[in-house]
Structure 1
Amino acid sequence: MTEFDIVGPEAIREGVATDAYFERTEATLRHAGKNPRVVAEVTADQFPDGEFEVFAGVKDAAALLEGHDVDVDAMHEGQLFDGGPVMRIEGDYLEFARLETSLLGFLSHASGCATAALDARVAAPDSTVLSFGARHVHPSIAAMVERSALVAGLDGFSHVAAGDILGREASGTMPHALIIAFGRDKQEDAFRAFDEAVPEGVPRVALCDTYGDEVGEVLSAVDALGDHLDSVRLDTTSSRRGNFRHIVREVRWELDARGHEDVGIFVSGGLGPTELRELRDVVAGFGVGGYISNANPVDFALDIVEVEGELAAKRGKLSGVKEVYRTADGGHHVGLRGRPGPTDSESLLKPLIRDGELVREFDLDAATRRTREDAQKVGFGEE
């Protein structure tokens, strides 16, 4: 028994974090003296359907496959895809068979979170958007969620330990618990104590909806912090929101009327792309939680498409080794390897591992730029 129900890195690396039938498969193939040379592809959809998703999780997938005698080609982190393979593995099947479960988990979950984060990003392109969803997932995968959010172009995240792993500083100021700890009608005391306690570099963002009317608590924050106040945050429970846009506009009016045009308004709590589009012209920024962290994983599968140089595939899957292409007009195309690709196109599957050696570096900022550029090229999220 372990203290926490967490499958550790050693089990993942050694291939113990696998489905039982892969162990049975290994035993059977070894018993039969079979270990065919295969090509396997990771694919969500066989053909393009116009629904693009973001490829993420490839850094962890590469770490899993590194050291195994295989060649791997894959799309780059942050590339958008729409049908066809996102990764191709060539090698003796027993070299990677038991890694399939973890491999698909790394890619599926991260790609789902990154795609949801991109939904949020394009819904409010000129706003600050932060990932606030780590509390909705097992803490062991918080860094995956936050990295996926950054790949999609979000401006930051809330989880401290994830920040340590990613080399980025977490964002966040105060929860309702801080206000409540000071007691009812003591909001100003809480605001002042916060201002006195936290480092100067932390923005003074006052949470203004704990006990009373949002406008009233915002004005209390102004009285308490004066010119120190950077922003106010509204996290009003959905059952008490009423017309949230109207509330935000009311707060903006009262701040401006008192000469506090420079105080920003930040909102959070159960927000998704619809709410971001509705509010993006009246707020400075958003905290998006469950929409990103609770996103459905992309339904990747790994399928053998060639055995000992011969075409192979299960029923319902396309046989043969494939290439995927991006054309200049943003089109996504799938074709057989060795055949001519579309005119004026780029092949998206690039070397990742050769003879077990990693041949690619991972740059989070580059992945973010790639996502932004590719999203524009393919028209992701256009209404």
Structure 2
Amino acid sequence: MPEFDIVPPEDIATGRATDAYFDRTMEALQHAGKNPTVVAEVTLDQFPTGEWNVFAGIEDAAQLLAGYDIDADALREGQLFDGGPVMRIEGQYQEFCRLETALLGFLSHSTGVATRALEARRAAPDSLVLSFGTRHVHPSIGAMVERSALVGGLDGISNVAAGEVIGREAGGTMPHALVICFGHGNQEQAWQAFDKAVAEDVPRVALCDTYDDEVEETLRAVEAVDDLDSVRIDTTSSRRGDFRHILREIRWKLDARGHEDVGIFASGGIGPESIRELRDVAAGFGVGSYVSNADPEDFALDIVEVEGKPAAKRGKLDGRKEVYRTPDGAHHVGLADRDGPGDGDALLEPLVRDGEIVREFDIGAAAERAADDAETVGFGR
């Protein structure tokens, strides 16, 4: 078995995937015989900002905390938030000290990807939008990218192994390499080989921009393959020109020849801006690096209470907190031992109790939560 530069899961679970200064912290605390009971909170912003993100990575975070003698509360997967704590941990500090690095990594990267996915989803609410981006990231995080893309509302994924990890079947049709293997002038052979070889439930989608004009290849494809579902246009940016005009011309000529049922699927450098520009002519989109290459969010974990008393470093709000969602979509952050807004719903819910996970995780429910919250707060308008 080849050895890749991947931190083993067992090292993550046992706290070895940590920053060295947490090892020094443990050494110092153990030497001093000090292990206080603390409350720590994970936050992105102290106060509500109006800049919304999609909370993701919480299943991995729960798995990390399981087995340790702590309690944890957190937002639900797919919840939109704009400030205040997204997670609260209570226990003796040495119990979870070394887990901070991995915990923040699980939440920060997933949340960034899910937020980008929701931006793409909201750009074309009625279109098919698929995740094509795992080729742009380290393969060890492919499952995280695909799960987060689905939490953000994308309709499907492309990574086979990632799909097996998260319990979703990957989809896909053909790359340019397949067409090139048959040679210039033989595109029909490639499209027909695909049609005859793959399972009946795989959509018949012909890639129509490999050698010749996109319109020409499209018209050849609809003649070569019966019951073609759609054509995919993935023209490289150096040859793209006016991409919208190309797709409009394809749509026109398909309709004029009685192929109104053949859809157009666009991919290659696609993001929310291009989706909005093309959504009236393309039936679907493949989104790659815009989602997969999202910057991780800058979460921090801070102690806010020690032995029942408020405590925090400068610039941080001390004391155990609660976050509330009010009917107008706003967030309210307040001390947990005080009354919140009368019409607000508390968002931090039990995640781990005495080291046991007390929550179930469902990608579909998380995506629905993200979609509902996006409507409530006006995300992506």
Q: TM-score, normalised by structure 1?
A: 0.98
1:152-231 aligned within 5 A:
152-225=152-225, 227-231=226-230
Please give the alpha-carbon distance, in whole angstroms, between the structure 1 residues aligned to 2:64 and 2:169: 27
Q: Which amino acid aligns with 1:162?
A: A
The offset of 1:304, in angstroms, is 0.3
Q: Report the equivalent of 2:95.
A: 95
Q: Report the equivalent of 1:243.
A: 242
1:11-26 aligned within 5 A:
11-26=11-26
Q: Report the equivalent of 1:351.
A: 350
Q: Report the equivalent of 1:281.
A: 280
1:296 has 2:268 as partner: no
Please give the alpha-carbon distance, in whole angstroms, between the structure 2 residues aligned to 1:62 and 1:240: 47
Q: Which amino acid aligns with 1:104?
A: L
Deviation string for 1:180-236 (max 9, x for gaps)? 1111111011001111111111111000001111001101111210x3211000001
Please give the alpha-carbon distance, in whole angstroms, between the structure 2 residues aligned to 1:275 and 1:333: 35
The DSSP-based 3-state class of the residue aligned with 1:324 is strand
Deviation string for 1:17-73 (max 9, x for gaps)? 111000010001000110011000000011111001000000000000011000100
Please give the alpha-carbon distance, in whole angstroms, between the structure 2 residues aligned to 1:134 and 1:77: 21
Please give the alpha-carbon distance, in whole angstroms, between the structure 2 residues aligned to 1:38 and 1:262: 61
Q: Report the equivalent of 1:32.
A: 32
The offset of 1:120, in angstroms, is 0.2
The DSSP-based 3-state class of the residue aligned with 2:173 is coil
Please give the alpha-carbon distance, in whole angstroms, between the structure 1 residues aligned to 2:71 and 2:102: 18
Q: Which amino acid aligns with 1:123?
A: A
Q: Which amino acid aligns with 1:167?
A: G
1:44-193 aligned within 5 A:
44-193=44-193
The offset of 1:158, in angstroms, is 0.5
Please give the alpha-carbon distance, in whole angstroms, between the structure 2 residues aligned to 1:378 and 1:39: 30
Aligned positions, number: 381
The offset of 1:364, in angstroms, is 1.3
The DSSP-based 3-state class of the residue aligned with 2:39 is strand
The DSSP-based 3-state class of the residue aligned with 1:325 is strand
1:322-341 aligned within 5 A:
322-341=321-340
Please give the alpha-carbon distance, in whole angstroms, between the structure 2 residues aligned to 1:188 and 1:31: 74
Tell me which stretches of 4 or more aligned residues in structure 1 moved more than 6 Å.
none
Please give the alpha-carbon distance, in whole angstroms, between the structure 1 residues aligned to 2:34 and 2:197: 66
Deviation string for 1:331-360 (max 9, x for gaps)? 111111111111211000000111111111
Q: Which amino acid aligns with 2:195?
A: D
The offset of 1:2, in angstroms, is 6.7
Between the aligned residues of both structures, percent identity stands at: 73
Deviation string for 1:229-280 (max 9, x for gaps)? 1100000111111110000000001111110000000000011100000001
Please give the alpha-carbon distance, in whole angstroms, between the structure 2 residues aligned to 1:312 and 1:42: 15
Please give the alpha-carbon distance, in whole angstroms, between the structure 2 residues aligned to 1:362 and 1:67: 18
Please give the alpha-carbon distance, in whole angstroms, between the structure 2 residues aligned to 1:336 and 1:315: 18
Please give the alpha-carbon distance, in whole angstroms, between the structure 2 residues aligned to 1:112 and 1:134: 14
Please give the alpha-carbon distance, in whole angstroms, between the structure 2 residues aligned to 1:166 and 1:14: 23
Please give the alpha-carbon distance, in whole angstroms, between the structure 2 residues aligned to 1:9 and 1:359: 22
The offset of 1:141, in angstroms, is 0.6
Please give the alpha-carbon distance, in whole angstroms, between the structure 2 residues aligned to 1:148 and 1:166: 10
1:244-283 aligned within 5 A:
244-283=243-282
The runs of 5 or more residues in structure 2 that have no matched partner are none
The DSSP-based 3-state class of the residue aligned with 1:111 is helix
Q: Report the equivalent of 1:363.
A: 362
Q: Which amino acid aligns with 1:244?
A: F
Please give the alpha-carbon distance, in whole angstroms, between the structure 1 residues aligned to 2:122 and 2:51: 15
Q: TM-score, normalised by structure 2?
A: 0.99
Deviation string for 1:357-382 (max 9, x for gaps)? 11111111111111111111111111
The DSSP-based 3-state class of the residue aligned with 2:352 is strand
The offset of 1:309, in angstroms, is 1.1
Please give the alpha-carbon distance, in whole angstroms, between the structure 1 residues aligned to 2:287 and 2:325: 31
Deviation string for 1:288-340 (max 9, x for gaps)? 00000000111100000011111111111111111000001111111111111
Please give the alpha-carbon distance, in whole angstroms, between the structure 1 residues aligned to 2:360 and 2:74: 13
Alignment RMSD, CA only? Answer: 0.9
The offset of 1:103, in angstroms, is 0.2
Please give the alpha-carbon distance, in whole angstroms, between the structure 1 residues aligned to 2:248 and 2:362: 40
Please give the alpha-carbon distance, in whole angstroms, between the structure 1 residues aligned to 2:91 and 2:342: 31
Deviation string for 1:136-168 (max 9, x for gaps)? 001111010010011111100100011111211
Please give the alpha-carbon distance, in whole angstroms, between the structure 2 residues aligned to 1:14 and 1:172: 37
The runs of 5 or more residues in structure 1 that have no matched partner are none
Deviation string for 1:2-24 (max 9, x for gaps)? 71010111000011011100001
